[in-house]
Copies of this chain bind each other. A is one copy, B any other.
Amino acid sequence: MDFQNRNPVDCPYYLVSRVSLVITSAMKKGFADAGVTGIKPAYLGALWVLWLDDGLKVSELGRRAGLEPSTMTGLVDRMERDGLITRQPDPQDRRVQRILLTKAGRKMKNPVLEIVNTVISNVFGDVSPEEFDVTTRMLQRVLTKAQEGNR
């Protein structure tokens, strides 16, 4: 890896950052085109976690979605404002807020995941299954290693 005589476009940092923003933009458009309101791309991670395991506390939700607790507070604020979740104090531990999907939040699962399917298929339309698998597994390893580094 020697970037001294190369362009930003050769740098994986540039590439993943740009692709992340490209997908965010495509997601916004996908939701808007499908007429699904009240959801933002940043909600996806947390919603997805809750669809699999509802009623988590803020910190555990953040841990599974890859976000810091201080980031979660604002995200949960906006998701609450948009009617997708509610905060419920935990009677067992008064420090804890349990995050629970509303009916609207639960009902969104299938429509939203269909839109996610479509958007991902469009963005990665020209990518072969082999390339896709190599990249997916590689990025998963990078994340796992980064998590281990923070222990």
Residues of A within 8 A of B (CB): 1-4, 7-24, 26-27, 41, 44-45, 48-49, 52, 64-66, 110, 113, 116-117, 120-121, 123-127, 131-132, 134-136, 138-143, 145-146
Contact = CB atoms under 8 A, between A and B. Distances in A.
A145 to B, nearest CB: 6
Contacts of A41: 13
A117 B17 contact: no
Nearest to A135: B135
Contacts of A20: 13, 16-17, 20
Contacts of A48: 7-8, 11
Contacts of A17: 20, 23-24
A116 B3 contact: yes
Nearest to A41: B13
